Amino acid sequence: MKKILLIGNGGREHALCEALCRSPQDVEVVNFANAVNPGIKQLASEVIVGNYMDMDEVKRVAQAVQPDFAVIGPDDPIGAGAADALLEIGIKSFAPNKKCAQLESSKSFTRDLCNKYDVPGQPGYVVLSPPDKGDLGGSLAKLKQFYDQYDGQIVVKADGLLGGKGVIVAGDHFETLNEAEDFALKSIEKFGRVVLEEKLIGEEFSLISIVDGETVLDCPAIQDHKRAFVGDTGPNTGGMGCISDENGSLPFLTEQDLADAHEITEQVMKAVEAETGTKFVGVMYGGFMVTAYGIKLIEYNARFGDPEALNILPIMESDFVEVCEAAINQKLSNIDLRFQPVATVVKYLCPEGYPTNSVKNVPIEIKPPQSPLSGGSDSPLDKGGLGDLTNCYFASVGEEDGQYLLKGSRAIGILGTGDNMEAARLDCDAKIANFSGPLFYREDIGTQALMQKRIDHMKQLRGE
Ligand code: AMP
Ligand code: GLY
């Protein structure tokens, strides 16, 4: 029996837990969570609730559990050094250490690294790092110079983890030099630095790779939909839904585009080791943009995406436990990472009002599944069984007195699969029909109309 400690309790961790439990090996998952996830509770042998941002507590829990290894889902414990804390007590993690995780936690680290090691695909950028808050050391003059150089078409990035709110893009979030200055000064005040970048024009996609410091194994390419409402309008969110095609690519990408993105990840992985002296183990999630001038790097995350994990993990044919262990032991070159050749569409059901003013603590209904598995406990899942709820991943949902309650953030991620994207979208929508309550989702994700817009955009940019 292998014991795995899974840290985190969102939709991504529900998908991680399911992928670990699907292993043909004899596996037991213990979940260390900030709150009980009703989906994980069904699968894990135990859920321990505590504060996974407290590294002493992480160590105490792991000491008691004695896992064979740990899987750390979210960015914040990874960035805070949970893998380092676990290693202190001899437990290895499928997650990067704190130094390597700077790839996500510090945008200036990543840009400076790529610059130093001549990694291709970088936009123009500059890091403003004044001597102290009282002495801006000419930073505002440098900002104006950069702004003028790119005719105001720039992006201003706070240099730390701000839950998706740390980036403003000219034309989308600000119009004037003054607004750029205000945001830059706030970042300097909070993090001591700010990153300015040339604004890139193109189509974004994610290439998530499993890496061990030596080998890079790519998952299917994915496109996320960050805006809250239909037609890519409304505020940014953690991601309303993601798509991938049956060939592991996306209709607006060429084979060369994917090869170029892979090459960037491989070069960055090696640069991280040269710079930090340690190997990156876990997930390198590259956010890329395909532009008229080829593939450009937007950012790296040091973990699976949420919802991207919901597209990838359920269709992984390889044994995910074996993959994690191979990554931890620098044996990924022995792994043939395989996925079912299906298209995927994931949509998050969100509480009405999300992301600015969500309804909270309101119950949602789940249609009784057709094939009850068991009964006996108070859990609504146990009453009905998981019947037709496969591929439904719980996120910000609590369970009280036999009811599921919305907790304010993205609630339930639903995966549809099919021979092509249209079939996957219809499968996703059919599963969504099982849920009712004050919920909304983006109906346009995975539609042919939205995809055609992306394809036409790229054709126009490539002058085809
Ligand atoms: P990040 O946190 O770096 O992923 O940035 C959040 C979002 O801002 C990205 O998903 C892009 O939509 C946008 N963005 C970031 N950097 C750039 C850039 N250099 N050019 C255009 N858009 C960008
Ligand atoms: N879906 C975007 C992210 O996980 O960062």
Query: Residues 332, 428: one domain?
Result: yes
Domain span at 186: 124-198
What would the two tokens of residue 68 be? 């064979």
Nearest ligand (C-alpha, residue 346) = 2
> How far apart are the CA of 305 and the centre of ligand 2, in A?
4
Q: How many angstroms separate the alpha carbon of residue 307 from the centre of ligand 2?
A: 7
- Cα end-to-end distance, the chain, whole Å: 56
Residue found by looking up tokens 């985190």 in the block: 8
Supply the CATH number for residue 61's domain: 3.40.50.20
Residue 11 CA to residue 348 CA, distance in Å, equals: 9
Best mutation site among 147, 149, 155 for ligand 1, i.e. most ligand atoms within 8 A of its Cβ?
A: 155
Q: What is the pLDDT of residue 464?
A: 85
Residue 38 makes CB contacts below 8 A (sequence gap 6+) with 379, 380, 381, 394, 397, 398, 399, 404
Query: What's the total number of domains in the chain?
Result: 3
> Is 109 inside any structural domain?
no
Residue 189 placed within a domain: yes
Ligand nearest to the CA of 223: 2
Query: Is the same domain home to 172 and 213?
Result: no
Asked if residue 412 lies in contact with residue 349, where contact means CB atoms within 8 angstroms, the answer is yes
Element (H, E) at 56: helix 55-65
Domain boundary among 154, 178, 198: 198
CA pair distance 447, 450, nearest whole angstrom: 5
277: left (phi over 0), alpha (psi -120 to 50) or beta: left
Q: How far apart are CA 71 and CA 93, in angstroms?
A: 6
174 C-alpha to ligand 1 centroid (Å): 14
Question: Do the domain assignments include residue 112?
Answer: no
Regarding whether 221 and 193 lie in a shared domain, the answer is no
305 lines ligand 2 (CB under 6 A): yes
**Are 182 and 222 within one domain?**
no
The pLDDT tens digits along the chain (464 residues) read 999 999 999 999 999 999 999 999 999 999 999 999 999 999 999 999 999 999 999 999 999 999 999 999 999 999 999 999 999 999 999 999 999 999 998 999 999 999 999 999 999 999 998 876 666 778 889 999 999 999 999 999 998 777 667 899 999 899 999 999 999 999 998 888 999 999 999 999 999 999 999 999 999 999 999 999 999 999 889 999 999 999 999 999 999 999 999 999 999 999 999 999 999 999 999 999 999 999 999 999 999 999 999 999 999 999 999 999 999 999 999 999 999 999 999 999 999 999 999 999 999 999 865 544 444 444 444 444 444 578 999 999 999 988 999 999 999 999 999 999 999 999 999 999 999 999 999 999 999 999 999 999 999 999 98
In a domain, 135, yes or no: yes
Domain termination residue (choose one: 177, 198, 219)? 198
- Residue 372's pLDDT is 44
- Pair (234, 189) in one structural domain: no
Does some domain include residue 316?
yes
Ligand nearest to the Cα of 236, by number: 1
User: Does 130 contact ligand 2 (Cβ within 6 A)?
Assistant: no
Tell me, rounded to whole angstroms, the distance of Cα 375 from its chain centroid: 35
User: Could you tell me the pTM of the whole model?
Assistant: 0.94
The answer on 128 and 62 residing in a single domain is no
- Domain boundary at 97, 132, 161, which? 97
Kindly report the CATH number assigned to the domain that includes residue 432: 3.30.470.20
What are the beta bridge partners of residue 132?
135
How confident is the model at residue 135, as a pLDDT? Answer: 64
For residue 298, the CA-to-ligand 1 centroid distance in Å is 6
Q: Domain check: are 279 and 408 in the same one? A: yes
Q: How far is the CA of 70 from the centre of ligand 1 (A)?
A: 31
- 242 assigned to some structural domain: yes
Same domain flag for 161 and 254: no
Residue matched to tokens 């050391």: 137
Is residue 111 a part of any domain in this protein? Answer: no
Nearest CA to ligand 1 atom 1: 299
- In the chain, the amino acid numbered 398 is G
**Does 40 share its domain with 169?**
no
d(CA 191, ligand 1 centre) in Å: 19
In the block, residue with structure tokens 């599944």: 369
**Co-location of 88 and 204 in the same domain:** no
Nearest CA to ligand 1 atom 13: 169
> Both 427 and 449 in a single domain?
yes
224 CB less than 6 Å from ligand 2?
A: yes
| pLDDT attached to residue 133 | 63
Going by their DSSP bridges, the two strands 167-169 and 154-158 should be labelled as antiparallel
* CATH number where 142 lies: 3.30.1490.20
Question: Ligand 2 atom closest to Cα of 12?
Answer: 4
- Cα gap 190→184, rounded to integer Å: 10
Same domain, 189 and 204: no
For atom 4 of ligand 2, the residue with the nearest CA is 305
Q: DSSP character for 333?
A: G
Give the H or E element holding residue 436.
strand 435-436
Residues 95 and 328: their CA atoms lie apart, in Å, by 8
Question: Measured from the CB, is residue 308 less than 6 Å from ligand 2?
Answer: yes
Whole-number Å distance between alpha carbons of 408 and 399:
13
> Does 361 reside within a domain?
yes
Which residue stretches of 238-279 are H helix?
255-276
Q: What is the pLDDT of residue 204?
A: 97
Q: Which ligand is nearest to the CA of 288?
A: 1
Instruction: For ligand 2, say whether the CB of 237 is within 6 Å of any of its atoms.
Output: no
How far away, in angstroms, is 455 Cα from ligand 1 center? 20
Q: Which ligand is nearest to the CA of 238?
A: 2
